[in-house]
Amino acid sequence: MSQMSRHEYKAVVVGVSAGGLTTLTELFSLLPGNFSLPMLVVQHLHPEQVESMSDTLARSCALTVKDAVDKEEVRPGCVYFAPPNYHLLVERGGSLALSMDDKVNWARPSIDVLFESAVYAWAPALVGVILTGANNDGAQGLRQIKEHGGLTIAQDPKTAEYPEMPLAAIDTGAVDMVLTIEKIGELLKEFGTRSTEDE
């Protein structure tokens, strides 16, 4: 378990692949409008897909949900999606960057790319979450978060539509908590609302 106090986290990064629409809809519905942490999401998409899922998910979420824009400053309480066919990275100052560099783990956007860049921007005050998916993208990025003192969470594979991705993360030995979507939502809600209450 991370040694960070629960009200000190600065950001959440989420990786998800197959089965993501249903899973993210459930997760986002659990987060209140006063959720204060920025959340960055890589959802694997077909390279020819012309839009991400942000518009669809915005309808089921009390938060601002949008596609990330290059050089955009990260704002509290916003959910940023990697656009189709772009890697999403975080720069040290906390702004976003988009890249068309080569695929990583056969994917662009890649979860590992996001997680590893977020480590340098926010660790140890970083929460990494791996959800349903059918490959192993994100496992090494989650390990990096763990090694730099962040908190690492995997969806319980028994509850995942596609368990391979959370299983790959768990197999690294770097996962702090294995939880259902409901429990992940409850934990993130605690992290993201307690900070405003404590001030």
DSSP letter string over 101-160? PPPBTTBSS-HHHHHHHHHHHHTTSEEEEE-S-SS-TTHHHHHHHHHTT-EEEEE-GGG-
From the candidates 2, 36, 44, 54, give the one annotated as an active-site residue: 44
pLDDT of residue 94: 86
Residue 8 three-state SS: coil
Q: Which helix (H) or strand (E) holds 88?
A: strand 87-90
**Is residue 137 among the annotated active site residues?**
yes
From the candidates 36, 54, 87, 137, give the one annotated as an active-site residue: 137
pLDDT of residue 129: 98
- 10-residue stretch averages of pLDDT, the chain, 199 residues long: 64 95 94 94 74 77 92 95 94 92 90 96 96 96 97 98 97 98 96 59
Spell out a b/e string for 114-132, using b for 16 or more CB atoms within 10 Å of the CB, else e: bbbbbbebbbbbbbbbbbb
pLDDT of residue 197: 41
Dihedral angle of Cα 163, 165, 169, 171, to the nearest 10 degrees: 60
What's the chain's average pLDDT? 90
**Is residue 44 among the annotated active site residues?**
yes
Can you name the residues that pair with 171 across neighbouring β-strands? none
Measured CA distances, 173 to 9, 63, 110, 147 (Å): 22, 32, 21, 11
**Is residue 17 among the annotated active site residues?**
yes
- Please state whether the predicted TM-score (pTM) of the whole model is above 0.85: yes
pLDDT of residue 58: 84
Token pair of 114, please?
């996001």
For residues 56 and 176, give the distance between their C-alpha atoms in angstroms, rounded to a whole number: 31
For residues 93 and 55, give the distance between their C-alpha atoms in angstroms, rounded to a whole number: 27
Token pair of 148, please?
């730099």
The domain 11-198: what is its CATH number? Answer: 3.40.50.180
For residues 74 and 38, give the distance between their C-alpha atoms in angstroms, rounded to a whole number: 7
From the candidates 2, 17, 52, 54, give the one annotated as an active-site residue: 17
